[in-house]
Structure formats: C-alpha cells, structure tokens
Structure 1
Amino acid sequence: FIFDPSGRLAYWWSSVVSAAFTYNFWVIIYRIAIQEINDDTKTFWFSLDYTADAIYFLDIFFRFRTGYLDDGVLETNSFKLRIRYMNSTLFYSDCLSLLPLDFLYLSFGFKSACRCFRLVKIYRFWSFLDRTERHTNWPNVIRSLTLLHYVMAIFHWNTCLSVIVWRTWGENNSSSYIHANNANNNLNGFFYRSSLHMTSAGSLDRSPVSKAGFLFAVLQFVFGLLLFAAILGHVANIVANVSANKRDFQTRLDQVKHYMTTRRVPEQLQLRVIRWFDYLWTGKKRGESAVDEDVTLSLLPDKLRSEIALHLHLETLKRVEVFQHTEVGFLRSLVLCMKSVLFSPGDFICRKGEIGREMYVVSRGKLQVLSDEGSVLATLKPGSYFGELSILNTGSNRRTASVISVGHSDLFCLSKVDLWNVLQDYPRARIRLEAIALKKMQGYQKAEQQKEKQGLFSFCIFLIFVFTFRLNMWKNMWKSFFTNIIGINYD
C-alpha cells in the first residue's frame, strides 16, 4: 500500500506526528527548568514520552511508503521510494530525532535534556500547518491560531529559560528582576513577569544581579522587540487579507461612480448601478456571486475547469430539450462556453424584434415574458430556459417576445458563435441539432400558416356576414321604397 502525500490519510497522520512534536516542544523545556522526572512521576512521563517516540518511529515506516510525484505522476514503486527517502536529508533528520540518548538516564539520572533531539521533527509540524492553511476554508482563523500558539510557546520557553538563569547563574536573589513575587518556584509568577519583559509592557522594579542576568535581560528585550514587530506584521497581514476583497470591490465602485459623475449620468441610472453593486457585494459575501467566475477559473487548467463547469452546468444544460441525448463530449465542450450574467430589477434580457444571438438558462431569480401591450404572458423561474432557437437557426431569428428581470437575476448564457464553434468538432451533433432546428422551424411555420389560414377563414366568414347583412338591409330598403312610394306591395 502506497500513501498519496496529498491524500487525506497522509494529512491526518501528519496531524498525529505534529501532536507528538508539540508535546515534546512544550514538555522537554518545562521538565528541564521546572520539574524534572522523579520516581513519583516517571510512570506518567515515560508513558507519554515513549508514546510520542512510537509515533516518530511509525512515521519513518510511513515515509518509506509515501509516494512522490515524478514528472507529474505519482511514483508507487516501493524500491524507488525507499532509495529516494534514504538518500534524502529527511531520513537522517528522522533518525536523529529518535537518537536513543534516554539510555543516559542510567548513568546521569533523569535528564530531559537527553530528549532535545526530538525537536528536530519540527519540519513535520510546519508542513502540517502549511497544508492546513492551504486546504481550509478559513485560512485567516488558522493563521490567527498559529500566531497565538507561537506567542504562547515563546513566552513558555522564555519563562523556562528565565528559571534556568535564575537557578544557574546567580540570579537566585529575591531582589533579582527574574524572581517571582510569591515563591521561588512559582511558575505562574515567572510566566507573568516573563510576558511583561518580552512585551515591554511592565516596568522593571528589580534589576539583574549578575552578568549573566544582565545579558539575558538584554537578549529578552531585543528578542521581545523583534517578536512585537513580527506580531504586528502578521496581524497586519491577516487584516489585509480579510479586507482585501472589500478594498478591491470598493475601488471598482469608486471608479464607476467617478465615471458616472464626470459623464453626467442621470441620477436614476446612477442609483440603479449602485443597487447592482450592493447586490453584487451581498452575493460575494455569501459566496454566490459569479461575476468573477471567469477570472477565478482562468487560473485552473482546462481539465479542472471542465470538471467544475460540468458539476455546475451539466444538469442545467440537460434540461434544454434540444441538447438531450447528445454526445457527452459535446456537452463537456459546451459547458465551458456557458457564462454567468447578472441582471438588475427592470432590466430587459431581450426585446421583441431583436436579433437573437444567445440563449439563456435561469439560475436564480424570476423573469417575466411580456406581450406588446405589457401584459405578463409567462413567468420564468430557476431551471427555465429560452432563446434556444435563436442559436440553432443558421439565419437571423428575431425575438418573439420581451423578457424582463423582476428582481436581481443570475442567468447562464450560451452564444450562437460558441455553439457553432463547438459543433465544428462534432458533426453528428451538428446534423442532429440542425434537424431539430429545422423540425422546430417547420413546426413554427406550420403553426403560422395555420394561424394565417384560420385568419383567412375568419375573414371570409366576416365578409359573408357583412354581405348577408348588407343584402338584407338593401332588400328591406327597396321593399319599403316600392311599398310606400310606388304603392306596390311585395308581400
């Protein structure tokens, strides 16, 4: 079995190894400075220590069975994997992290400093954090938690080093600036004063009493200054990333507003534009806006773009009757040509009499089909489509009705040019669609002829009615004339 380095199993295993490293990172320095292993605690500490060592040991076997990309292809040959890993610096780092210096306990007693090589595994911890930040949907949260962990770890190490200096280099005087207020071994007091010194947030009511103490104090302040600058930079980067989208969006809006002002665009039209931007920003915050879809997907190779487009648009495209039962390759090529368009309330998607060059599929929103008098003929909801004959007809095809957007509407658009460009590579689909288009056009023409025949028949009936009415009227008129004027009675 070969592990994929980009797979989820490899990721979760790296999280286990990172947890083992984090344990060593926090505990080793703590035991050196504060509370070393003794007979009362050795069972507890040994169980944790050697559990972490077992994880390190298993990680070496995991690395032997982890593939790598060779010319873009995952290498699964176990012999090549073993040779590559053993010839890399990672193998020697992993072996160094398991150096069994614990046997020195037998000669020198319990000294946690013998386990300091366990910290060499830090590269696995960094790799885990990097992948977590890249794969999560909340990268800024991960960055903030990572920063907080780093800060607390630095304070922890500084506290432990302060205790070592206090006990080793003569800073064991109660007047020393390192000394805690309550007790010589009060960890909370040491941690509190260490955080004050590192951040320069507190005044030094005590001074060092030895050269080592003075040197350590200076190093604390210098390192604290660098830490403070690093934290500010990191926080500024997080804030900038959070507000980057809003800043770019606001820049666009300001440019459009400046353009409309300089061009003296009517206020009513300016208000519509601003409302459109409001809707666009609301959609971006919900992750539903498709305006930047082309820019985002342009970063991906065609294959991935095709897969995403298939997931988003294929089922929608299959609803269109003329595209049903066509080749899969044709549909795969066609979905890449579909573009998302956004319409504001009151916008006309098309008007009656215009030359149709696109078809539309409703993704979100509500549209109305209007007659010449402005009455609503039909309401189009998500999943509806219209204009398919406009892109199938090789000649000019005028719109038969006007379509207006009731609210904010998101539509998928497919142009005639894109369709026929794709059809050049799929002659069978082209023949089929041309036959469907011809059949539909003949059906529409037959319907029109039927309407004309019905209209002609109705007109003839009307003429017969008028002729009969006129004939009766003239008959009555002549009858009255002969009866009243001449005196001849036809009855």
Structure 2
Amino acid sequence: MFFPIFRQEAATAPPPPIVINKYSDEKLRAIVRRMRERLQVYKEKVVDQYASSPEISPPVNPLKHGDMDIKTRLIDAAWSFVDVLLKPVEDRMDSVLGKTIDPFTDCHYIAWLSLVTLAFNYNTWFVTARLCFPYHTERTIPYWITLDVLADLIYLIDCVIFQPRKQFVKGGDIIVNRVVTKKKYRDSERFKADMLSLIPFDVLYFHFGFRSIFRANRLLKADTFFEFSDRLESIMTKAYIWRVIRTIGYLLFMLHLNACVYYVASDYQGIGKTHWVYSGLGNAYLRCYYHAVRSLINIGGLTEPHTLFEITFQMTNFFTGVFVFSTLIGQMRDVIGAATAGQTYFRSSMDNTVAYMVTNHIPALVQNRVRTWYTYTWDAQGMLDESELLDKMPLVMRTAIAVDINLATFQKIDLFKGCDQQMLVDMLLRLKSIIYLPGDFVVKKVSVVKMTNESIRYVSLVNHC
C-alpha cells in the first residue's frame, strides 16, 4: 500500500545536484551563506540604526587611546582658560564687528586685512634688508623694536579677534555660530601657521644680539596677503589695476632680494676691494638695488667680473633674470589681456562684420549703419550681448538682476498695469536687450484675414521708432 505512494513522491522530487568539484561546491555554498548572513545584518541595521556594523573594527590600543583622551582634555582645558581671559575683549568687539564676520563682503574685515598685509610686507621687506645690510646700530635699534612690537600686535589681534569670527559654509549652510567658527579656525592649518608666526624668538636677542633672523617665522603669515588679494579683487570694479600693481610688487621684491644678496657677496669679497663689488660709497641699499636692476634686466654697462666667485655670481644673476622677467612679463600680458578681453572681442566682431559686408558689396549706407550700431551698443552697455553673461548665473540671481533693472520701467506700461507680479517677473526673465538705431523697425503688428479658398493673407502694419 505504501509502495505506490513512494513511487509517486520519487517521481515528483527534484533531481539531485550535479557536483563536478566538491571543494569548489563547498566554497560557493560558504560564500552564499555568509552573504545571506550579511544581508540579514543590514536588514536589522535599517530597522535599528544602533545595531552593530558587520565590518570588523580595527583594534584599538587602550593605552594610546587613553593618552589621546588626556591630551585632548588638556588642550580643551587650556583653550577654555584662554577663552575666559579673552571674553571681555570679545564682548567689546561684538558691538563693532558683530558675533561673526562675512569674509567676502564685510568692509571692516577687508580693511583689517589691508593692515595685516601691511605688517606682513614690513616683515618681508625689512627682515631681509636688516639681515644683509648693517642697519642695526645703537641709534636705530629702539625704532626697530617699536615697529616689530607694533607688527606683532597686529598679528596677535588678527589671531584673537578676527580669524575666529570668520563665517564658513558647511553642508550648504552658512555657519554663524561663533563657538563653531572658533573651533573651525583652531582646527585648521592656518591656525598652526599663525601660532608659529607668533612665537617670540626675539627673546634670543639677549643672548645672540639684535639680529632679524629671529623674526623669520613672521613670514608664515603669507596666507593673509593672498586672502587680501582675493578679497580686494572681488570688490574692485576694475580688478586688473590691482593685478598690475601686485605683479609690479613681485618684480620690485625680486630686485630687493637680489640687492641684498649682492651686498652679502660684496661683503664676502671685501667691500671696495675690486671694481665689481660694492664700493662702499653713498647709500648702500640704493647702490646695490641699482646694480640689481641693471644685472637682472640685462641692461648692460656693468663692470666685468674677474674672480671665479664674481663670474659665477654674475652668471647666476643673468640666468635668474631671464627666468624671472620672462615669467613676470607673461603674467603681465595675461593680466592686460584679461582686462581688455571684452574690447578685443568687440573689435574682432566689428572687423569681421565689416569684412563680410565688403566682400558681399553691401552698400555704403548699410555699412555705416552697422558700424554706428556696433559703436553705440558698446558705448551704451559695454558688451554686445548681455544675455551671454546672465545665462551663466543661477535663476535666482538672474531674476534679482532683471527685477532691479527693468521692473520699474515695466510697471509704467499701460498694457501691463494690474497684471500679477509673478507674471511680470516671468516676462522680465524672457526679455533681451537689443539696441535699435533711429529709423529701424521695432514692432510689427500682424492681422490675419481668412480667404474663401482657405488661404491666409498677412497684412503688416509697421511702427517706426
């Protein structure tokens, strides 16, 4: 009685799997099993966000981890003590600067950056000059100390008052909480460079004498100069003026360094011992700077070097001058080219159009009107097609510009009085600035008349300017 049932079950059971390689089959089954377990863990992770991750965490050294915790606590405690000391000063500055500063648009911050840049340039130029030239005398040392302390005070105020207040963008949001901006600044690389630039190596004067080499760490404040340059370019109407001034400053500083090196070389050879070195007469800096100008620019007329040291030094000067001045000239060309790019485009477009009209024998009257249109359009708006500029902006900015420029005029037209404000804004976004000359057709009103043969005839009524 059970035999037919057994025969029926055997007929419906699936055939046994074919195993070609037992080892490979076991490995594949193990992989499938682990993937199922991993999938189950991730399902639990979705349901419970506090579930443990299936990834293996790296081993943690408890002693090292504890040391890091102690170190972090000590640093936090030190900064908390500093914040308590600085709180009265910060509270007083809140009424002047506000809780935080927008580094891109705040005029107070940009003005302050100019002062910090001035202090940085003082250190950059005079540290090298005082290091090479004999400017440290008993009469001048008090003046140098006063200027050094003033520059250091500007550095300190920048690190304590201004930099911790700078707003920044995080996750698309502008962070205006001063506690967060202060922490962001203290965790940055710039803060480390600022702290290194404030280390008072000047106390070594008491042991080694008054030498400006101990102020070389003040040059680590270079980020402020480049930040000031970027901010100034963003607010200037003609930014190429500052770029030209900055490039000329680079050139003058390279000549300054060469003048310092030339004086050191002359002192090494012996001042006044040969015709090539500095003679020792007149103002040492001006004479050496004059030699640097003639040497690096390769003007000629220099005294021929004779010793091996002099020949090597002068050849290095020539090679350096060729490299530096070719770089600066190329940079100056780029600056001037960028400043006149719009005018160059206008002139090229006008010349191409005139050449096209001459080639196709366009009447002189039409050619003169085209030239007049080009000239008047450029004088009126400084570009041929302002839509090319606006198309690169987001919709919100295009809308703001269109509303500020045209909405007041648009509302004066009787046709659009009483219209919805949003409809007016949508129409403003579709406007395109076009300049017409007197006598040009501006508006064409078309009326449609239906004919008996189902054809359509257009009757145009033309309005003139």
TM over 0.5: yes
SS of the residue 2:442 aligns to: strand
Cα distance, 1:231 vs structure 2: 2.4
Cα distance, 1:397 vs structure 2: 12
Cα distance, 1:350 vs structure 2: 3.1
1:142 maps to 2:242 = yes
Cα distance, 1:354 vs structure 2: 3.3
Give ranges in structure 2 of 5+ residues lacking alignment. Answer: 1-98, 449-456
* Residue of 120, 143, 147 corresponding to 1:21: 120
Look up the equivalent residue of 1:140 and give its one-letter code.
Y
* Residue of 87, 96, 100 corresponding to 2:196: 96
> 2:300: which partner in 1?
202
1:317-340 deviation line (CA, Å, top 9, x unaligned): 111234334443333323212222
- In structure 2, the CA distance between the partners of 1:403 and 1:30, relative to structure 1 (3 Å rule), is same
How many residues are paired up? 357
Give ranges in structure 1 of 5+ residues lacking alignment. Answer: 357-395, 406-491
1:294 maps to 2:387 = yes
> 2:87: which partner in 1?
none
1:128-173 deviation line (CA, Å, top 9, x unaligned): 1133223311222212211221111111121122112222x22434
Q: Please say which structure displays the higher CA radius of gyration.
A: 1
* Residue of 173, 179, 182 corresponding to 1:79: 179
Q: What are the within-5 Å matches in structure 2 for residues 29-428 of structure 1? A: 29-61=128-160, 62-167=162-267, 169-180=268-279, 182-183=281-282, 186-207=284-305, 209=307, 211=309, 213-284=310-381, 287=382, 291-350=384-443, 354-355=446-447, 402-405=462-465
Do the aligned residues in 1 keep the contact of 2:275 with 2:303 (CA within 8 Å)?
no
Cα distance, 1:16 vs structure 2: 1.3
Do the aligned residues in 2 keep the contact of 1:198 with 1:224 (CA within 8 Å)?
yes
Cα distance, 1:399 vs structure 2: 7.7
Q: What are the within-5 Å matches in structure 2 for residues 421-460 of structure 1? A: none
Q: TM-score, with normalisation over the residues of structure 1?
A: 0.67
Q: Counterparts of 1:35 and 1:120 in 2: how far apart (Å)? A: 25
Do the aligned residues in 2 keep the contact of 1:140 with 1:238 (CA within 8 Å)?
yes
Q: Counterparts of 1:98 and 1:262 in 2: how far apart (Å)? A: 70
Same amino acid, percent of matched pairs? 26
**Aligned Cα RMSD in Å?**
2.6
Do the aligned residues in 2 keep the contact of 1:68 with 1:75 (CA within 8 Å)?
yes
1:203-243 deviation line (CA, Å, top 9, x unaligned): 331415463x4443333222111112012212322332244
- In structure 2, the CA distance between the partners of 1:347 and 1:44, relative to structure 1 (3 Å rule), is same
Q: Counterparts of 1:52 and 1:257 in 2: how far apart (Å)? A: 59
Q: Counterparts of 2:328 and 2:215 in 1: how far apart (Å)? A: 30
Look up the equivalent residue of 2:237 and give its one-letter code.
N
Q: Counterparts of 2:275 and 2:307 in 1: how far apart (Å)? A: 6
SS of the residue 1:354 aligns to: strand
- In structure 2, the CA distance between the partners of 1:330 and 1:237, relative to structure 1 (3 Å rule), is same
> 2:57: which partner in 1?
none
Q: Counterparts of 1:38 and 1:189 in 2: how far apart (Å)? A: 20
> 2:42: which partner in 1?
none
Q: Counterparts of 1:355 and 1:196 in 2: how far apart (Å)? A: 79
Look up the equivalent residue of 2:219 and give its one-letter code.
L
1:239-270 deviation line (CA, Å, top 9, x unaligned): 32244223322322233234334444333323
Q: Counterparts of 2:358 and 2:302 in 1: how far apart (Å)? A: 60
1:60-112 deviation line (CA, Å, top 9, x unaligned): 12212212111332112333323322222111111111121000011011111
Do the aligned residues in 1 keep the contact of 2:103 with 2:109 (CA within 8 Å)?
yes
SS of the residue 2:125 aligns to: helix
Look up the equivalent residue of 2:173 and give its one-letter code.
V
Do the aligned residues in 1 keep the contact of 2:269 with 2:277 (CA within 8 Å)?
no
Q: Counterparts of 2:417 and 2:187 in 1: how far apart (Å)? A: 56
Q: Counterparts of 1:65 and 1:232 in 2: how far apart (Å)? A: 39
